[in-house]
Amino acid sequence: MIRAVFFDVDFTLIYPGPTFRGEGYEAFCARYGIAVDRSQFARAVAAAGPLLDGPDEAVYDAEIFVAYTRHIIEQMGGEGPMVDACAREIYAEWASCQHFELYDEVPRVLRELAARGVRVGLISNSHRCLASFQSHFDLQGLIAGAVSSSDHGFMKPHPSIFAAAMQLVDVRPADAMMVGDNVRQDVEGAPGRHAGSPPEPGRKRPPARERSREERRAGHRIARRADRQ
């Protein structure tokens, strides 16, 4: 019996607005006197993706995400001494909820789970404050516990972050489900049951910071699966 459902946050419950798309990166870079080609954004994100595939025992380190962002800027044609400073500002802004939108189905799914007595938890590799996330999107009272890797120390798929979240909501692995968009971090890493949308054979999943419209829709399908448990 499922007694708790844990959700990833970025690209599972929320997705980025224009600030973190090609035009947004172009605007950030312009403030630092850096010229980039916004049309190269998708290619740049794909090239930077492997930088986020660290070891399973990875400790949260902001420099991982700064390097990822810096690589995107460089792949878009950006260069010069201000690239690092620009990348750091983009990383810092990623924590601001105002730049993100909630998937339409999320409030209904979370409310229905809570109404059934299923505890809802959050497990995120982001440095976003999860208390601020709940208040910004008016989810107070629906979340039983939340753990971010920046506070916990280890990143998914390290088992300790899942263990910390389960202890927080007082549930055993056999009675918990993890819902997320990343096969390695959310599906293979979770000790309990899981729901996810792995890519089709031969098709590469877009990197974590830029999902396609199709994958954002997949996030809705994931939520519906959890809703039916």
Q: Which domains are present in the chain?
A: 4-15+98-228 (3.40.50.1000), 16-96 (1.10.150)
pLDDT score recorded for residue 189: 73
Q: Which long-range contacts (CB under 8 A, 24 or more apart) does 209-217 make?
A: 209/16, 209/20, 209/45, 209/48, 209/52, 209/68, 209/72, 210/16, 210/20, 210/21, 210/41, 210/42, 210/45, 211/11, 211/15, 211/181, 215/11, 215/181, 216/11, 216/15, 216/103
Q: How many CB atoms lie within 10 A of CB 188?
A: 14
Please name the amino acid found at residue 50: P
How far from 111 is each of 19, 20, 107, 149, CA to CA, in Å?
29, 29, 6, 25
At 223 the pLDDT is 40
- pLDDT number for residue 99: 97
| The two structure tokens encoding residue 30 | 């312009």
Question: β-pairing, 176-179 with 119-124?
Answer: unpaired
- Averaged pLDDT in 10-residue chunks for the chain of 229 residues: 95 96 98 98 95 86 97 98 98 97 96 96 96 96 96 94 96 94 83 51 38 41 41
